[in-house]
Amino acid sequence: MLKKVNPTSAGVRHRLNAVNEFTVSKPEKSLTEKQKKNAGRNAHGHVTTRHRGGGVKRRYRLIDFRRTKTIDGRVATIEYDPNRSANIALIHYRDGEKRYILAPDTIKVGDIISTGPEVEPKIGNCLPLKRIPVGLPIHNLELTPGKGGQIVRSAGTAAYVQSKEEDLVTVKLPSGEVRLLKSDCFATIGQVSNLDHKNRKLGKAGIRRLMGWRPSVRGIAQHPDSHPHGGGEGRSGIGMPSPKSPWGKRTLGKKTRKGNRYSNKLIVKNRNR
């Protein structure tokens, strides 16, 4: 659900917030850890993602993407996670252990969830693809059996099982790509929560800065020494044959995926076709 903010200033006049019913305001302390800011830098300290930096301090929530716990658990809380677009759910298991999982849409406090090859395919349960009926929405999908969920984890996303044959299952991903996955890969039933995340409006640039994003300047507004699109008298185009990055590499439409990959043969329908 979206909520319009009372227009007390220009910065909030057009703001739309995604409203979620969180049950607590503070996370489970034992399932959080300190998160070091790297401002878009890799392990060598080189900037690999531009326009990052600043932002509000946050602690990382340890999410159970592998879902290895095979005993029943009860949903204790639905919480906000500043590190991802989806909401998270705190699970209390019968042996006393607590874990965070991605909260599926419509899941409620008090619901019981399970993991295993023989569990019922209901919202929140995690089971192998070969046991999931065709047409059910799924998320937190494994690409390699036992590695843990790697795809379909952002707010409002869902994949669908289309068909099954021997050891492979055909799955349609949110991007439109249709690919084959091993039938032993686990997935969680349901659509990821916080469906209105994509419809919200931040309202002002300051919110973006609090999220850790810094301003981005257009190439054509820069000096020609700083960007290939810069320079010229008055307003000018970006030039031919195609748009460039600040370092002169082609960008728009340029394929970056290596064509000689093992997983290519498992793609039935490319997302760009």
Q: What is the pLDDT of residues 192-238, one digit of tens each?
A: 999 999 999 999 999 999 999 999 999 999 999 999 999 988 888 88
Give, in order, the Cα–Cα distances in Å from 121 to each of 74, 110, 176, 212, 221: 16, 18, 24, 38, 54
Look over the chain and give the mean of its residue pLDDT values, rounded to a whole number: 92
Residue 126 lies in a domain: yes
Question: What domain count does the chain have?
Answer: 1
Residue 34 lies in a domain: yes
Residue 270 has a pLDDT of 85
Cα(78)–Cα(105) distance, rounded to whole angstroms? Answer: 11
Residue 142 lies in a domain: yes
Residue 268 lies in a domain: no
Residue 228 lies in a domain: no
Residue 251 lies in a domain: no
Residue 148 carries which DSSP code?
-
CATH assignment of the domain containing 181: 2.30.30.30
Question: Would the pTM count as exceeding 0.75?
Answer: yes
Which domain range does residue 159 map to?
A: 21-198
